[in-house]
Amino acid sequence: MMTLIFDVDGTLAETERYGHRVAFNRAFAEAGLNWFWSESLYGELLEISGGKERIRYYMTHYLPDAISPEETLIQDLHSAKNRYYRQVLGEGGIPLRPGVKRLITEAYEAGIPCAIATTSALENTVALLETHLGTTAYFRAIAAGDVVADKKPAPDIYHYVLQQLNVMAADALVFEDSQPGLTAATQAGLKTVVTVNDYTAHQDFSNAILVISDLGEPNQPFTIYSDQNSLDQTYFNLDLAQRLLQFH
């Protein structure tokens, strides 16, 4: 049976620009730090997977005169960021991307297993899903945060999800938005659809089987950027997912 596996940040919703970045800046201000991550700077920092890892990288590479990264400070900032992220989410500042709710609902009603594979913290992931879907029951497995030691672009989290679901890689289709995510999925032997955003549009997605603007809606067609199969489709549905798996 076909299985759909979704990344979260940037794939289900524009969480990076409107959620995590805003929350990081609120956490910095609360801690009395004069750090500010602009949209352009945050785009550079997104090359690093994981929030704690991102703070550590910023301190090491952008603040040469700062104190050496202390794990306690990093953990405290990250915890505050997560708290502010959920605040931003509650304020309605992080909508789902086009087609996401429709596709997940269609899969659930058809008995198609869905799963989550994300470096985002579990509590943030659950908050996003419950806010927009009302429940996490749409997903047979939710792999998030530090559930594996090595984060994307390492394939570990996808191996973990496949094991949890007892699914073969050939029967699963992944939805990602970034090159690190695509690399993680393809190294796990998974076929991957990429829905780009402003932060990732410049990245190399040559290994994706389909690169589109978003999942689209019947009255809101997606834009196709790269299509290995010359598909005649204007929005993503279960039939398209099945055809993509059969083509490869």
State the catalytic residues. 7, 9
Residue with token string 């398209």: 240
φ/ψ of 164, rounded to 5, equals -60, -35
Pairing outcome for strands 141-143 and 172-176: unpaired
Q: How far is CA 53 from the centre of its chain?
A: 16
Beginning with the edge strand found earlier in the chain, give each strand of the sheet holding 114-117 in spatial order.
141-143, 114-117, 3-6, 172-176, 191-195, 210-212, 224-227
H helices within the chain, ranges in order? Answer: 15, 21-30, 39-45, 51-61, 71-90, 100-109, 122-133, 156-165, 179-187, 238-247
Residue with token string 């269609």: 106
Q: Rounded distance, CA 199 to CA 52, Å? A: 19
